[in-house]
Structure 1
């Protein structure tokens, strides 16, 4: 009986070892496939820019320092790096998009793995005129707990339930959003994963993850669709 028990223990131990090696191999192979996919996406971004007459730089430094204080950038900094920085014209408007990377202090802390940067893909389109600071965000638990800035209510129940507005110019917001932008944001699936941020003469959106050719037109079209719906007179009311 004890002999069979010993054999069973060996079999189980062997199975565990085989399972661990299989798991490591599977995770490693999946990681290699993901890295290859990202590299191909980045190569395609360069090709798209060349085909459309846009400028493309694999990496640039200092150009995005002006965005400090805005999401998803740090409150302050200098010589910030941007990857896959692309600029050009889309639907008659100037734009830029790029990856911003930063180190998350908790990344890999529990597992002992090499820390990986957090990557934010950012899209910026020039507006018809200067506007006030404005954020249109989706509700989140973290923001509810830590963001103590006053939130503006539009008085549209469905919109107020699904979006958070932060601004210092309520007159501009009501003039710009109420008639045409609000219905678009409520109906558009893009708005569910595309926060909006306005500062001066630029409208931003961003998402966490690497740049993908599939998101370039989607995000730029979304920003342009929002701007197309803001009436011209709204820009004249901006403080």
Structure 2
């Protein structure tokens, strides 16, 4: 009798925990959607709660098959078309009768480029790290020891990479403190950067400023070179 009562109480407790978790999740979702939408309205941007097609628009880190894109804001920022959204996916693991789920959340920021470009990715880590190929990309060293030690560069077009990563751009990247520089990738008609964090109740334009600052340091010939590739 007591055992049966214990089981019933356990079931009720688990049910209450699940209901509470869903309620908290719904409240957090509503807060994000309301805050992002209000910010977009005040600043002349557009807010879209979900954009399923955007989940597979970009490739490479941090994107995987089966991800989701939501809380999307888009608009003009410092003369560029900009976009920011939350990208997420869940990894299911475990064995036997135990199953675990591990959510992964990223804040992705993108600026449109004037023309489509080859792939160029720059991340902290340096050439000693393992290079993961992206559509035929390969690791590149720039004969700049401080930069080559601090960053890892992969590209599908070495000439384009060298045109972007001028001495001025390399010095600027090296001079930024860790909290104000982001991994970035030129890919198709955008340059993107990403962070391992969820979006908040309002957009954070620091990554967009980082990409805009990068644009302002590029020589005009970069886009002509991209057109010829």
- TM-score, structure 2 length as denominator? 0.74
SS at match of 1:62: helix
Are residues 146 and 181 of structure 1, via their aligned partners in 2, closer, same or farther at CA, if it must alter by over 3 Å? closer
Partner of 1:223: 211
SS at match of 1:136: strand
Superposition pairs for residues 20-169 of structure 1, below 5 Å?
40=31, 42-67=33-58, 69-74=59-64, 81-106=68-93, 115-139=101-125, 144-145=129-130, 147=132, 150-169=138-157
Is the CA contact 1:38–1:210 (under 8 Å) kept in the aligned structure 2?
Answer: no
- TM-score, structure 1 length as denominator? 0.72
Is the CA contact 1:84–1:99 (under 8 Å) kept in the aligned structure 2?
Answer: yes
Is the CA contact 1:46–1:56 (under 8 Å) kept in the aligned structure 2?
Answer: yes
Are residues 161 and 146 of structure 1, via their aligned partners in 2, closer, same or farther at CA, if it must alter by over 3 Å? closer
Is the CA contact 2:36–2:203 (under 8 Å) kept in the aligned structure 1?
Answer: no
Partner of 1:13: none
CA distance in 1, matches of 2:126, 2:149: 12
CA distance in 2, matches of 1:163, 1:140: 4
Is the CA contact 2:31–2:201 (under 8 Å) kept in the aligned structure 1?
Answer: no
Decide which structure has greater strand share. 2
Deviations 1:83-113 (A, max 9, x none): 101111111111111111111234x88xx68
Are residues 218 and 192 of structure 1, via their aligned partners in 2, closer, same or farther at CA, if it must alter by over 3 Å? closer
* Alpha-carbon distance, 1:188 to partner: 1.3
CA distance in 1, matches of 2:131, 2:142: 22
* Alpha-carbon distance, 1:174 to partner: 1.4
Q: Does 1:211 align with 2:199?
A: yes
Is the CA contact 2:34–2:201 (under 8 Å) kept in the aligned structure 1?
Answer: no
CA distance in 2, matches of 1:119, 1:94: 23
Are residues 183 and 213 of structure 1, via their aligned partners in 2, closer, same or farther at CA, if it must alter by over 3 Å? farther
Decide which structure has the larger Cα Rg and report it.
1
Deviations 1:135-188 (A, max 9, x none): 1011289x9357366310011111100101101211112122113211111111
Is the CA contact 1:193–1:207 (under 8 Å) kept in the aligned structure 2?
Answer: no
Identify which range, 114-123 or 188-197, moves more after superposition.
188-197
Is the CA contact 2:126–2:152 (under 8 Å) kept in the aligned structure 1?
Answer: no
Is the CA contact 2:121–2:184 (under 8 Å) kept in the aligned structure 1?
Answer: yes
SS at match of 2:85: strand
Partner of 1:174: 162
Q: Which runs of 5+ in 1 are unaligned?
A: 1-31
CA RMSD of aligned residues (A): 3.2
Residue from 170, 187, 192 that aligns with 2:175: 187
